[in-house]
Amino acid sequence: MTDLYDRLQTAAKAIAEATGHARHDVVVVLGSASGDFPEHLQESTAIPYPQIPGFPVPAVKGHAGTLYSTTFGDNRVLLLSGRVHAYEGYNPDVLTFAVKACLAAGCHTLVVTNAAGGCGDGMTAGSIVLIADHINLAGINPLVGPNDDRLGTRFPDMSDTYTPGLRRLALEVAAEQDIALSEGVYAWFLGPTFETPAEVEMARRLGADLVGMSTVPEVICARHMGRNIIGLSVVTNLAAGIATHRLTHEDVTATANLVKEDFRRLLSGLLPRI
């Protein structure tokens, strides 16, 4: 098989040819909480994932599997509408390939979004939370294996992974638009089962405010490649042991729909200023 670097360059070239733009500036991963964001774009180019070499196709409801190229202010932006998850059985290279390909296409900043369970003090369903840091509880790191120095260093530093300046900007944009935005720590669990009450309690004691099944592998790869990163979670449910009812994916989707307008305004206000 062709090495990862060459496969990323092939995918980046395909993105440039399909969009008519040699480079892009920002890539956004649209998770379960933001799947309808592309519907509000005034102008965009849509590319189904199967048309881009190496892109895996999501199978989870709410993850469309389409790449959009659009403009926010002076920024050329790629929107990954849908992601694949480790619990679907993908190896780490496949799991993170789409994000890495977009970074190889020139993007200097990664914006990750997700639906998460709230477990920290003050976390309520329907709130938007800025990710300040993460805890990897999945037992998977996408950098395990031979390192390619063309992508990044063997031992990336993870201090200030979520770029402080971008976090300040997000808080500023939220305040300007009168959108409540707090900060929190995101804990990544493998899934596909929702977390047990004991696991949620463990995460709380470790300092987590949010629990979920995505985001962290993409962030690790972006950090490895030296990019800026900002993360936004929509709290779609209270985590097990805190919630008073059984958790379902349908509940996640329903709550995300309630907050989608605020989320759209926040993201639309942020992207031109990154």
Residue 88 among the catalytic residues: yes
252 has a pLDDT exceeding 90: no
Compute the mean pLDDT over every residue in the chain, rounded to the nearest whole number.
92
Comparison of pLDDT for 56 and 1, the residue scoring more: 56
Is 68 a known active-site residue? no
Q: Please enumerate in sequence order all residues whose Cβ is within 8 A of that of 155, keeping only pairs 6 or more positions apart, or say none.
A: none
- Strands in 137-213 per DSSP E: 181-188, 210-212
Helix (H) or strand (E) holding 41: none
Q: How far apart are CA 49 and CA 39, in angstroms?
A: 17
The pLDDT of residue 240 is above 70: no
| Residue 125 pLDDT level (bands cut at 50, 70, 90) | confident
Q: Is 90 a catalytic site residue? A: no
* Active-site residue, selected from the candidate residues 63, 68, 123, 134: 63
Picking from 23-37, 95-109, 121-135, 196-210, which range would have the lowest pLDDT averaged per residue?
23-37
Cα–Cα distance between 229 and 26 in angstroms, integer? 10
Q: Of 12, 115, 222, 243, which residue is the catalytic one?
A: 115
Can 115 be counted among the known catalytic residues? yes
Torsion angle, CA of 60/71/40/63, rounded to 10 degrees? 0
250 noted as active-site residue:
no
- Tell me: pLDDT of 140 over 80: yes
pLDDT at residue 9, rounded to an integer = 98
The question of whether 214 is a catalytic residue gets the answer yes
Per-residue pLDDT tens digits for 9-24: 999 999 999 999 999 9
DSSP state of 38: G
Band of the pLDDT at 39, cuts 50, 70, 90? confident
Which 3 state secondary structure label does DSSP give 224?
helix
Verify whether residue 141 is a known catalytic residue.
no
CA distances for 128 relative to 86, 144, 200, 232, 261, angstroms: 24, 32, 19, 7, 11
The residue with tokens 């989320």 is: 263
Write the pLDDT tens digit of every residue in 87-97. Answer: 999 999 999 99
Domain extent, residue 99, equals 4-273
Flag the least confident range among 35-49, 55-69, 115-129, 218-232: 55-69
Phi-psi region of 28 (alpha: psi -120 to 50; beta: other; left: phi over 0): beta
Domain CATH for 251: 3.40.50.1580
pLDDT one-digit tens code per residue, 43-84: 899 999 999 999 998 776 655 689 999 999 999 999 999 889
Total domain count, the chain: 1
Provide the percentage of residues in the chain whose pLDDT is more than 70: 91
Q: Is 95 helix (H, G, I), strand (E, B) or coil?
A: helix
69 is known as an active-site residue = no
**Model pLDDT for residues 154-174, shown as the tens digit of each residue:** 999 999 999 999 999 999 999
What lies within 8 Å, CB to CB, of 223 at 6+ separation is 152, 156, 158, 161, 229
Arithmetic mean of pLDDT, 171-183: 97
Whole-number Å distance between alpha carbons of 126 and 115: 10
Q: Is 81 a catalytic residue?
A: no
Exactly one of 44, 46, 87, 201 is catalytic; name it: 87
- Cα 58 to chain centroid distance, Å, stands at 14
What ranges in the chain are assigned the alpha helix state H?
Answer: 4-19, 92-95, 97-104, 164-176, 197-206, 216-224, 249-270
